[in-house]
Structure 1
């Protein structure tokens, strides 16, 4: 019994010492920014870090999107090495690294799915001065219920007492307002086209989702960063592999536009991207196709896409090419669809091009990891990247 008590006592002393040390490291970082929400976190982190660097700040940023990275004060990137299950302890490591580098600011994504971990990241590990909520949409349905109430309740855990919260005005609801009031945080609603109204040219990397540009510009302005510096930083931002992009692929008889919209996991975000991309194409009559990349470990997301498409959304596409474990189930429910069984990106792209008309637009949908990333890498190596705002 005595040994047990001594062991527990030593462990508690260790935890207290670790907590004290972490708090001391946090105190060295003058500005701590967290980014949460369903979609757009990685793009926001990358753009805001670039803007802050352009303003002369020493920034360490961390992303957990398609490729987990540290973005160092000089803008170079360092891959985050992971062993086994992804852990929120990465945020603790971020703070240590920031203190070692002597940075002015950290910008990091909230990486959790479960409410308890959202709370731990925000209230224990980061304690942000400023929080950005990109949007409140359904995703990770195997963990979070699809109702707006549950999604909002999840992200209330990301609001740190006394912090500044930036969120698109259209995403604010009564549940969120109550959570903000209880936390004592300051709400900063960001209006649509806020960047344009302050004089920031929105035609920059990541500009297909203008609300991201609005958020970054509004946050930067609150930090007294000039409009010219904001625009310069936005233009210099290097985006994640999962960021939306259009690639022109050609063979001897056809040219096809392939749109990387894999990372817009939820159907609503994906359809928003479809609409914005098609709106930028001069030939509005171009045939539209979809390539669904389904993951074996994301059964709920496959179900989400099936429900969405089978309730009329399939009519947005002339035909859907489906790949992955759940492809057979979707094929039975979606009339204009077919299964691609190959895992080789060159074979997949060859099959798609052989089936579609010249000048078609093909959207990569559902999941960036695995096959989706392979397709993007293939397009990067074999296609020509085209600006999203002007195909």
Structure 2
């Protein structure tokens, strides 16, 4: 028995020594990389990682990058890339150690790496132990992974903040919950910088050969500026960067029966807000058109997300809703009753695309559009493989004579995918929500700052911005509860500082509301 205790003691000491050596080797590899950018958020992390890496390459910085999205990739300094090998196909945050060690062999100026942790504790470990970023990116806060980081969006915001670097810099394009991010940044002595999407012009966005968002480009430009890369060369580097495999795309095919269809792969935007934004953007730009058909791919480990995709069907107003994957019931039951008769259950995890695609294509009319939402894995991948084998539709879109004038703005001869981008999809999405959050226009400074980090007070998050946002939402809440303008103004001047809890009505009326429609308190 004493022998077994001795073996256990020797084994424990050996593992401890091995762990200390491994940690020292990892920290030594980190110290050879002067600038480390950790990209976190809910949507768009992979695209932002590629944009940041491209911008830094444009400034002649030796840059290594690694994405974790639809298809994990290791991106070399010359922009070539290769898949990240995972034993048994299982992702684990420990793989970041190998990525850092491999990146260090290039002696790079910068490493841009996507955060692959979901659990809040692992996000903190990913930052404090594995990456130790000098610049953090927190792109946005959306309704996803609520079971791990929720249950509210404010909780999600605070969970994501665990990846902020202490005594470092964090860049964000999140506006609605900027005040929460600012609180968390102050607690970590981290300088929070707002990347204003309005600083990116439509002309600059047209330089991309693939769909992206102004928020993503603005973040990459701020990161490039912090590392001394000029705007023009940074943009050119982003234009030359290869897009992510899961990037928003539209392809045109000819079905076996001769029908033409436009297919939009929106699998990568797998939360309801991003899904609506992407689809409405494509509709506004004319990249897809009605009649619109939606296919929802379900996964047994994403039942909540399946239901979220079903709930947004009334906002999309499709002719048909095809449900594939398993369990299909989780998405169909979430579709409001008025729209459920349009749902077609093609589910069953063992059904191949050759079985369900003929039924799907048979219910679609010629020239209609098909949008894929939900999760890509499983039958979603089979759907993509089936469509990839169809011949491409190279014919010009037909426009009826009577509709020529009306269709012209939406179907120009040369598609300008960003002509109406700044407000079109955002206004359409805001109007569809039960509680509309007003978009506050922040006046630009009279003169552009020399450096983003030098004038954080010019960006939202200060007291004036918070009060302006509260007053706008107080007006909205007052209108919904029959309060006049004078009553709203009087409450804002006198009663607002004392009204701290969400359980009370701001105008003195009793309520059992959970606070979702109340103006946020400072």
TM-score (norm 1): 0.90
Moved more, 64-73 or 345-354: 345-354
Paired residue for 2:286?
Answer: 281
Paired residue for 1:231?
Answer: 235
Structure-to-structure mapping, 1:231-250, within 5 angstroms: 231-250=235-254
Paired residue for 1:24?
Answer: 28
In structure 2, runs of 5+ residues without a counterpart are 395-414, 420-522
Larger radius of gyration: 2
Which residue among 16, 22, 41 is the counterpart of 1:12? 16
Structure-to-structure mapping, 1:260-339, within 5 angstroms: 260-281=265-286, 286-309=290-313, 312-313=314-315, 316-332=317-333, 333=335, 334-339=340-345
For 1:265, what is the secondary structure of its paired residue?
A: coil
Indicate conservation of the 8 Å contact 2:307/2:330, yes or no.
Answer: no
Cα distance in 1, alignment partners of residues 48 and 123 from structure 2: 18
Paired residue for 1:54?
Answer: 58
Cα distance in 1, alignment partners of residues 62 and 288 from structure 2: 44
Paired residue for 1:389?
Answer: 417
Deviation at 1:327, TM superposition (A): 1.3
State how many pairs are aligned.
Answer: 386
Deviation at 1:336, TM superposition (A): 1.3
Paired residue for 2:374?
Answer: 366
Indicate conservation of the 8 Å contact 1:322/1:340, yes or no.
Answer: yes
Cα distance in 1, alignment partners of residues 16 and 185 from structure 2: 33
Cα distance in 1, alignment partners of residues 259 and 198 from structure 2: 37
Paired residue for 2:363?
Answer: 355
For 2:92, what is the secondary structure of its paired residue?
A: coil
* Match status 1:67 vs 2:71: yes
Deviation at 1:16, TM superposition (A): 2.2
Deviation at 1:111, TM superposition (A): 0.3
Indicate conservation of the 8 Å contact 1:242/1:373, yes or no.
Answer: no
* Match status 1:117 vs 2:125: no
Paired residue for 2:434?
Answer: none
For 1:364, what is the secondary structure of its paired residue?
A: strand
Deviation at 1:250, TM superposition (A): 1.7
Paired residue for 1:258?
Answer: 263
Deviation at 1:206, TM superposition (A): 4.7
For 2:175, what is the secondary structure of its paired residue?
A: helix
Moved more, 9-18 or 317-326: 9-18
TM-score (norm 2): 0.68
* Match status 1:156 vs 2:161: yes
Moved more, 249-258 or 66-75: 249-258
Paired residue for 1:106?
Answer: 111
Deviation at 1:173, TM superposition (A): 3.3
Paired residue for 2:145?
Answer: 140
* Match status 1:182 vs 2:190: no
In structure 1, runs of 5+ residues without a counterpart are none
Cα distance in 1, alignment partners of residues 28 and 55 from structure 2: 27
Cα distance in 2, alignment partners of residues 73 and 301 from structure 1: 36
Indicate conservation of the 8 Å contact 1:241/1:376, yes or no.
Answer: no
Deviation at 1:157, TM superposition (A): 0.8
Cα distance in 2, alignment partners of residues 138 and 49 from structure 1: 27
Deviation at 1:29, TM superposition (A): 0.4
Which residue among 71, 88, 94 is the counterpart of 1:89? 94
Q: Over aligned residue pairs, what C-alpha RMSD do you find?
A: 2.6
More strand by share: 1
Cα distance in 2, alignment partners of residues 140 and 388 from structure 1: 34
Indicate conservation of the 8 Å contact 1:256/1:353, yes or no.
Answer: no
For 2:87, what is the secondary structure of its paired residue?
A: coil
Indicate conservation of the 8 Å contact 1:51/1:233, yes or no.
Answer: yes
1:34-82 Cα distance to aligned partner (Å, 9 max, x none):
1010110111112222222232222211111111110111211121111
Deviation at 1:208, TM superposition (A): 3.9
Deviation at 1:171, TM superposition (A): 4.3
Which residue among 212, 215, 224 is the counterpart of 1:220? 224
Deviation at 1:328, TM superposition (A): 3.3
Indicate conservation of the 8 Å contact 2:161/2:185, yes or no.
Answer: yes
Change (3 A) 1:240 1:367: same
Cα distance in 2, alignment partners of residues 219 and 355 from structure 1: 47
